[in-house]
Amino acid sequence: MRLTVAQALVRFLAAQEIERDGERRRFFAGCYGIFGHGNLAGLGQALQQHEDLLPFHQARNEQAMVHLAAGYARQRNRLGAFACTTSVGPGATNMVTGAALATINRLPVLLLPSDTFATRAPHPVLQQLEQPHDATLSVNDCFKPVTRFFDRVERPEQLVSAALEAMRVLTDPAETGAVCLALPEDVQTEALEVPDGFLEPRVWTLYRRPPAREPLARAAGLIRAARRPLIVAGGGVIYSEATDALAALVDATGIPVGETQAGRGALRSEHPCALGAIGATGTAAANRLAREADLVIGIGTRWSDFTTASQSAFQDPDVRFVNVNVAGFDAVKQSALAVEADARLALEELHDALAGHRADAEWTERAAAESAAWAAEVSRLVNAGHAPLPSQAEVIGAVNDAAGETGVVVCAAGSMPGDLHKLWRARDPKGYHVEYGYSCMGYEIPGGMGVKLAAPEREVFVMIGDGSYLMLPGELPTAVAEGIKLVVVLVQNHGYSSIGALSRSVGSAGFGTLYHARENGSVPTDDRPTAPLPIDLAANAESLGARVLRAETVGELRSALAEAREVDGPVVVHVEVDRYAGVPSYESWWDVPVAEVGGDEPVRAAREEYERNRAAQRRHVRSPS
């Protein structure tokens, strides 16, 4: 069949399916795009011609549409994706941040930026980057370090191999991330004879990888020998739909569980062995047991510095690690015994291998006591009655209650993710969606839209601070146009609250973090505050087409959240909080260096504190055997 490159690609994408555990589904839900001269006549024409095969959705910001695709993929446990198309130039480079987010979080997103003319006939074309030392470079080369696969289709015949390779990566749980196929604008419109097999339905089957017998047996032996074992559940537990297997193992063995940001909800918070968040944003329960654990079993985690509290969390001098992960790159971290396997199969086989074994009763009872004490601490914080403005913790408590059993909370940046990680009471493995691999400001609204498209039956609550809101509010009109129901809880604290607290901790008094006016030419700080800027973000949201509800108290917030349920389309609930009413760090640390010389007394004191904390860092290099 004779088709243009763009027409063939659209038809190919529409025919891709994915299968796991016997369940088959379409892989691509559609394509988000913004058209320019580079992709209008190629992919634009093809998408219009075949809209019945691959639905097209208009976006307002290129970065945001990649965030939307990432949110969708995560909610679908990486078993579905969107494609995103832009013109070459700023449209393409706007997607680079989104590509980095998808790759860091191991989420499948297909990027289809236009590229400069393969023929170079009108060289240099509008928006073309020229490099005197390399005529083959275009702005799309920016995607190479932030994608898992990159190709530039410079001849029509290259499309078949490029598209198949792209699908191989997108559907591989160990290799997935952003994939970029750069399409020169002239090549998009050129025709080729397309093999029939390229356009036929194609099923990409994800076979669960079982653990090899020897490392599994060694892991079981280490667990049996441990006196204080601890499981750290990461996103891989949820992506592999292994939460029931995790609960069964914990019930059988009494091993307590701490959770990463991506793994939050792997074990319901009401479980007596559920310690909640671990690491720099962790709970007192998880961090206390982490400090004493002699064996740490990481399941589906990539061991970020927040999870390890910058390598200060695990203090037992003889601590060993076992890592279960589909990716060998992650499985060997922390000098662990690597069990390269699907999380669900590995947990099921560990359950069998540990038959009759339980952790020391004293350790399990200690976990239950710490878990109960933490639940009481959460209740205290979310019901504090802070005045005159509510605390952020109280806002989180109200949203947690409104979300119920199946609601989804979405967040990404600022002080909110750390507070959510500690305080959210997880009732469902897909109810907690905090992007903390890249912690990208602006992810929240488009990411929430992706979540809602992936799970239309769930209520989606986007929690976003004023700093993140100002980054990317432009997809609210897209949510209005597409009828995507979101409840956006817009928390106003007049600045960058997270970095403000960090600034105070290093002795810098919130320098450069307040949304306040200058006074006598000076940048306002916490010890030299000025009036907040006269910005009305609720009015801004209303001007973008969203229904807006304002709340001044926690009671009004709860009423607004109830009212929002009855509204079609996006609703923004605006509430101002006390930026200085934070949630404690609960015996954890994050390595943020402080100036070694210079500065005033607060800086010098912060450096002394930094040196004391840094002394607790450890290098885990000992063999687990």
pLDDT digits (tens, 9 = 90+) for 307-332: 999 999 999 999 999 999 999 999 99
The full set of domains in the chain, from first to last, is 2-205 (3.40.50.970), 213-374 (3.40.50.1220), 384-494+533-576 (3.40.50.970)
The predicted model gives 337-364 an average pLDDT of: 98
* The pLDDT of residue 242: 98
* The pLDDT of residue 319: 97
pLDDT at 506 exceeding the cut of 90: no
Each as own residue / partner, the long-range contacts of residues 518-527 (CB below 8 Å, 24 or more positions apart, any chain) are: 526/500
Is the separation of the CB atoms in 129 and 137 below 8 Å? yes
Sheet strands side by side (includes 178-184): 56-58, 28-33, 81-86, 109-115, 178-184, 149-152
Which conformational region is residue 494 in: left (phi greater than 0), alpha (psi within -120 to 50 degrees), or beta? left
The values of phi and psi at residue 409, to 5°, are -100, 135
Reported as a pLDDT band with limits 50, 70 and 90, residue 509 is confident
Q: What is the dihedral of CA 558, 561, 566, 568, to 10 degrees?
A: 170
CA distance 430 to 237: 11
- The residues, ordered by sequence, that sit 6+ positions from 230 with a Cβ below 8 Å of its Cβ are 255, 256, 257, 258, 289, 290, 293, 295, 296, 297
Q: What is the dihedral of CA 262, 75, 164, 125, to 10 degrees?
A: -90
CA distance 218 to 213: 9
The predicted model gives 183-208 an average pLDDT of: 97
Say what the pTM is: 0.96
- The residues, ordered by sequence, that sit 6+ positions from 160 with a Cβ below 8 Å of its Cβ are 194, 195, 198
The predicted model gives 587-607 an average pLDDT of: 91
CA distance 362 to 358: 11
- Kindly state the helix (H) or strand (E) to which residue 323 belongs, with its residue range: strand 320-325
> What's the token pair of residue 339?
């069990």
The predicted model gives 51-75 an average pLDDT of: 97
Nearest to 263 by CA among 434, 104, 461: 434
* The pLDDT of residue 502: 85
Of 121 and 625, which is predicted with more confidence? Answer: 121
The predicted model gives 517-526 an average pLDDT of: 85
What totals of helices (H) and strands (E) does the chain contain, helices first?
A: 24, 23
pLDDT at 27 exceeding the cut of 90: yes
The predicted model gives 541-557 an average pLDDT of: 97
Q: Please, which residues bridge with residue 2 across strands?
A: 193
Task: Write out the DSSP string of 101-131.
Answer: HHHHTT--EEEEEEE--SS-TTPSPTT----
Nearest to 367 by CA among 432, 449, 462, 285: 285
CA distance 549 to 402: 15
Residues 323, 325, 331: CA angle, nearest 5 degrees: 50
> What's the token pair of residue 390?
């509510």
Sole residue written with tokens 């962790």: 282
- The residues, ordered by sequence, that sit 6+ positions from 462 with a Cβ below 8 Å of its Cβ are 410, 411, 444, 445, 447, 448, 486, 487, 488, 489
* The pLDDT of residue 625: 74
pLDDT at 599 exceeding the cut of 90: no
DSSP reduced 3-state for 456 = coil
Q: How far is CA 126 from the centre of its chain?
A: 35
Nearest to 157 by CA among 192, 109, 131, 119: 192
The values of phi and psi at residue 385, to 5°, are 65, 40
Highest mean pLDDT out of 120-134, 193-207, 511-525: 193-207
Q: Which of 315-329, 337-351, 507-521, 585-599 has the lowest mean pLDDT?
A: 507-521
pLDDT digits (tens, 9 = 90+) for 103-113: 999 999 999 99
Nearest to 345 by CA among 237, 228, 488: 237
Q: How many other β-carbons are positioned within 10 Å of the β-carbon of residue 77? A: 17
Crossing angle for the helix pair 159-170 and 5-14, to the nearest 10 degrees: 30
Sheet strands side by side (includes 274-277): 274-277, 257-259, 229-233, 295-299, 320-325, 337-340
The values of phi and psi at residue 278, to 5°, are -125, 150
| Percent of the chain's residues with pLDDT above 90 | 91
Q: Please, which residues bridge with residue 180 across strands?
A: 111, 150
Reported as a pLDDT band with limits 50, 70 and 90, residue 241 is very high
* The pLDDT of residue 600: 87
CA distance 333 to 119: 46
CA distances to 113, 242, 244, 518 from 259, rounded to whole Å, are 37, 14, 15, 42
Stated length of the chain:
625
* The pLDDT of residue 522: 84
- The residues, ordered by sequence, that sit 6+ positions from 401 with a Cβ below 8 Å of its Cβ are 558
CA distance 188 to 158: 12
* The pLDDT of residue 498: 86
What is the maximum span of the chain, computed from C-alpha positions, in angstroms?
76
pLDDT at 624 exceeding the cut of 90: no
CA distance 471 to 210: 43
* The pLDDT of residue 464: 97
> What's the token pair of residue 77?
């446990």
pLDDT at 501 exceeding the cut of 90: no
Is the separation of the CB atoms in 468 and 414 below 8 Å? yes
